[in-house]
């Protein structure tokens, strides 16, 4: 196996790993048991300052 073939193989493995990682991240984020946490986190930008500071 020469350098060209090795670099091609490494690129292919890296692409597969990134796709699997991305798919796992999407599954983790949209898992049904995480819905309440994600809903709570989605409202963070809409909170008033006094809600965040506890006053």
Residue 55: what pLDDT?
Answer: 54
Per the document, the length of the chain is 55
Global confidence as pTM: 0.63
* Rounded-to-integer distance, Cα 54 and Cα 42, Å: 19
- Mean pLDDT value across the chain: 89
Residue numbers of the domain that contains 46: 3-53
Q: Is 46 in contact with 40 (CB distance < 8 Å)?
A: no
Number of domains in the chain: 1
Residue 50: what pLDDT?
Answer: 67
pLDDT, tens only, 30-55 = 999 999 998 998 898 888 766 556 55
Cα 26–28–48 angle (5° rounding)? Answer: 90
């Amino acid at each position: 196996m020469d350098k060209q073939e090795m670099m091609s193989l490494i690129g292919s493995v890296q692409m597969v790993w990134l796709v699997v990682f991305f798919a796992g991240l999407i599954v983790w984020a949209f898992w049904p048991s995480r819905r309440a946490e994600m809903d709570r986190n989605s409202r963070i930008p809409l909170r008033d300052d006094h809600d965040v500071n506890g006053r």
